[in-house]
Amino acid sequence: MYLLYNHLLPGIDPLSPENILLIGAGLLTGIPAMGSGRCDIAAKSPITGALGDSNIGGFFAPEMRMAGFDHLIIKGKAEKPSYIWIHDGEIEILDASHLWGKDTFETQTIIRSDHGDEEIKSLVIGKAGENLVRFANIRTGMKNSAGRTGMGCVMGSKNLKAIAARGTLDIQFSYPEELLVYCKEMIDMVMKNRYSRAASKWGTLIIYSTTNTTGLIRTRNFQLNQLEQGWDIEPEEMDKYTIGMSGCYGCPVSCRHRYTLKEGAFAPIFAEGPEYTSLGAFGTMVDCKKMETILVANHLVNKLGMDTLEAGGLIAWAMELYEKGIIDEKLTDGLKLEWGNEEVLFDLIEKIADRKGFGNVLADGFNSAIEKIGKESKYYAIEVKGMGNLHSDERPTPSLALGITTSTRGADHLRGRPAIDLYGLPEDFLEEIYGGKMSSDYRSYEGKSRMVWWQELLYAVTDSIGTCKFQTVFLAVHAPKWDEFSKLIYLATGMRYSSSQLMEIGERIYTIERLFNNREGFSRKDDILPERYFEEATPIGLPRVKGIKIDREKFKKLLDDYYKLHGWDNNGVPTENSLQKLGIESEPTHLI
């Protein structure tokens, strides 16, 4: 985030050569624990115009470190399709003309074949990135995606098809023997919690069992908060398709299904997933109730290189507009955007990637599509800052609602989501974790700003060190956090940081993200939920969540308290005093 803030001038076009693409491995990337195969990919977002940033797992980041590099800063634009080849301290820019037009799976295979090395790891884009779909993603392996904020679109704008790495160099650790012993302790700690054990069998699909039963998901875009008769997409349904589980580098959990589809128009399919997000994007939000539909759609977006969540959210929005008569078949090229129509779903996914017909309207994201369709359509768009939300319904959960509102990336479940708020934990236990008083009722507003603030700091540090959020305090209470991070950093690097110092680092990271957005014109006016959260109450679900909407005045107070915790003024701008405390009052110091 520091490099991004310092290397970009304000106001640039995200698709211009002036935008940069940053690839950053984490401080602990490569340790044998906690899913440490992660890196961050950042640029100015082409879908929001705000901070663009996406975290990706798999095996690329450790390979890049073993090839001798921790960070890449990619500037300008290649004259022709190209790819970057990184190997043992060397970087080359090679011709990618033969890769242009290939899907994300083929591209990785061809690069390995070209160099005669099956161990090469690559970050690649598909057709969506080449066609500058603004929510195109970056992919590695069979399943891992830097999905959010359109980083694949930025790669495409630079004629950059892939970044390939192969390394045989060492990653140096300060205390390797002690680190190995402590990593085993971390593996044991992670695998003792119930979420990790469940995820090892069912993946993130396990979340659906609870959220749908309760009534905390979006169905038919935002019309319902529960998928009635949705038993055919319960996690157990994957037994019909799964041939095993796999995981990222350094991961003991292995939360990814490997599955096959041997019948149907798109068969044969051998793929990985789906995540909980795909279950919502191509299941609940579009009212498709077959697991096979979700598995095909999941494979298509991965093959084409497109953000699952954004694609599903836009299609669900379009289906509601069609139902309400705001758009018709003249605009949709004759497509009948009816709920549960899987053929329309598959067709639209491909049309978006190809920028054909109505797909071209959706390919630029919510902000552009609203301008083209008309202001009446905005009310039905479930987005924040121009980026679509997860299929969760946060009306009964003010803490989760605040998290998507204040996220620096736009609507976001991975920037500050206090998921353990849903567990009804004892209040003294919550106070011990978060350092302040709060209600244990997830419907309450009391203390929930502190939850979001604390989780934002934790997730910022988690991304910075290159480990997996699912192996910290996200969905598991007894998981690694500040103290464990502190010891891991010391054993790996020799640097000593206390828990309070790590929290300050998290605050510094998140404040720089906020400064970036402030500089691009974002402020409190953009930290706003879709109007439907305030106007429409949840129609179904368990009694404790039925008939609830966000209280406008209480939510305003929640936002005020949140700003104070960060040390920002009432407009969401960091104060001079806060910047001085964090040592960033003079940033940016080296604009290029």
Q: How many CA atoms lie within 13 A of 348 on its CB side?
A: 30
Listed in sequence order, the DSSP H helices in 237-290 are 276-279
pLDDT of residue 592: 66
pTM summary value: 0.97
Query: Both tokens of residue 292?
Result: 């096979």
Band of pLDDT at residue 22, cut at 50, 70 and 90: very high
pLDDT digits 0-9 by tens, 202-245: 999 999 989 999 999 999 999 999 999 999 999 999 999 999 99
Output the 3-class SS for 368-418.
HHHHHHCHHHHHHCCEECCEECCCECCCCCHHHHHHHHHCCCCCCCCCCCC
pLDDT of residue 269: 94
CA dist 285 → 58, 136, 166, 533, 577 (Å): 28, 20, 40, 16, 44
CA angle 11, 13, 17 (to 5 degrees): 120
Q: Is 236 helix (H, G, I), strand (E, B) or coil?
A: helix
Output the 3-class SS for 525-550.
HHCCCCCHHHHCCCCCCCCCCCCCCC
Cβ atoms of 570 and 560 within 8 Å: the answer is: yes
Query: Which residue's structure tokens are 């429409």?
Result: 536
Residue-wise burial string across 92-111, b where 16 or more C-beta atoms lie within 10 A, e elsewhere = eeeebeebbebbbbebbebb
Closest CA to 401 of 532, 523, 276: 532
> Angle 308-323/291-304 helices, nearest 10 degrees?
120
pLDDT digits 0-9 by tens, 267-322: 899 999 999 999 999 999 999 999 999 999 999 999 999 999 999 999 999 999 99
pLDDT digits 0-9 by tens, 235-255: 999 999 999 999 999 999 999
State CA 70 to chain mean position distance.
Answer: 21
pLDDT digits 0-9 by tens, 132-148: 999 999 999 999 999 99
Query: Both tokens of residue 333?
Result: 């090229």
pLDDT digits 0-9 by tens, 438-480: 999 999 999 999 999 999 999 999 999 999 999 999 999 999 9
Closest CA to 375 of 366, 364, 385, 363: 366
Q: Is 44 helix (H, G, I), strand (E, B) or coil?
A: strand
State CA 144 to chain mean position distance.
Answer: 11
Structural domains of the chain, with CATH? 2-166 (3.60.9.10), 202-388 (1.10.569.10), 398-582 (1.10.599.10)
